[in-house]
Amino acid sequence: MTEHWSDPGAYPVAEGVHRIPLPLPMDGLKAVNVYVIETEDGLTCIDGGWAIDVSRKLFEESLKSIGHHPRDVTSFLVTHAHRDHYTQAVALRSEFGAATIALGLDDKPTLDLVISDLSEDPFAKRVRLGGGSEIAHEWEEWAKSSSIEPDLWLYPDTWITEDTTIAVGTREIAAISTPGHTAGHFVYADHAADLLFAGDHVLPTITPSVGFEVIEDTFPLRDYLASLAKVKAMPDLQLLPAHGATDMRSHQRVDELIAHHDHRLEQSLAAVEGGHHTAYAVARELPWTRHDRKFTDLDLFNGGMAVMETMVHLDLLWIREQVTRELVDGEYIYQAVSQD
């Protein structure tokens, strides 16, 4: 029987490096890969997982199978501040008091937001700007019922501010800024071992979300495409993604992701030219997921994500002067630029 990438266990991907998939409490993504690097002084983990009981138990069982325990973890290099990557690192640091956490500085606004007293949900605000006022209202109601555990959103020990090299035992791990999926996203490369710990920047079978960001007045798709080009300029490495199997090379998948967004920009422009002038209206014209689902088949969360994703594509067209953008009654209105 062929193993699925999300099946529990500790899988060797290189000498001294194991992949441990940990479960997620959602229907779409089944698991998140935590990569464990063994050193003489303890373990370094790339990402930490989602702080839920089943993940904590499985992490301990998986480490036990390779002769270790969670208390052996001395550091976490977290790719970005999303719940499924960050919160279990915080929980384990609190539990054992020894492990340190490093995170990209530009994700600090995300942590600031989570631990602050919000008067307005920033994601609902973006959906409303995109013309999806009904979805925005439903999102706000859903957000009110969603619990936030402040003890899982504490600040890291180290903010990574720029591309740098981090010593992990005898390894030299390159921390490389790759904004787009989040503003503070970093990938980690072990060039000597031919490994790219890619987080959510480069995923093998799905397209990372771009636009699910709390920072206003930014252009995450522009940044994401630049970050893909940055990774393509690096050597072609074995892709170790946060979600998915480890049987691809980085250059192949980067090329596929760039082609996807080029096509998405063409589709978005065609929709505007066809008379659809808000991100919500354009999103309703586009196919979604790799299965080409209709917008009306998406649930509330993914519908809101689709509006935000569409808006960053339209904003990139605006930067490129292929459409105009005007704020009208609290919504961005896009118009195609005449080619005459």
Count CB neighbours of 72 within 10 A.
17
Residue pair 310/282 in contact (Cβ under 8 Å)? The answer is yes
**Across the chain, what does the average pLDDT equal?**
93
Q: What is the DSSP string of 296-312?
A: GGS-HHHHHHHHHHHHH
What type of residue sits at position 159?
A: W
Residue 89 has pLDDT above 80, yes or no: yes
C-alpha closest to that of 280 among 257, 296, 292: 296
Kindly indicate the confidence band of residue 1, based on its pLDDT and cuts at 50, 70 and 90.
Answer: very low
C-alpha closest to that of 106 among 46, 177, 202, 203: 177
Residues 6+ apart with CB under 8 A from 269: 317, 322, 323, 336
pLDDT (0 to 100) of residue 62: 98
pLDDT in tens, 124-157: 989 999 999 989 999 888 877 776 787 899 999 9
pLDDT (0 to 100) of residue 121: 79
pLDDT in tens, 211-220: 887 777 689 9
Pairing assessment for the beta strands 186-190 and 171-177 based on DSSP bridges: antiparallel
pLDDT in tens, 221-269: 999 999 999 999 999 999 999 999 999 999 999 999 999 999 999 999 9
pLDDT (0 to 100) of residue 338: 81
Residues 6+ apart with CB under 8 A from 64: none
Between CA 197 and CA 34 the distance in angstroms is: 10
For the chain, the straight-line distance linking the first and the last C-alpha, in angstroms and rounded, comes to: 60
Between 53-65 and 83-96, two packed helices, what is the crossing angle to 10 degrees?
A: 70
Residue 200 has pLDDT above 60, yes or no: yes
DSSP E strands, 123-163: 158-160
Between CA 246 and CA 13 the distance in angstroms is: 8
pLDDT (0 to 100) of residue 140: 86
pLDDT in tens, 2-59: 589 999 999 999 999 999 999 999 767 889 999 999 999 999 999 999 999 999 999 9
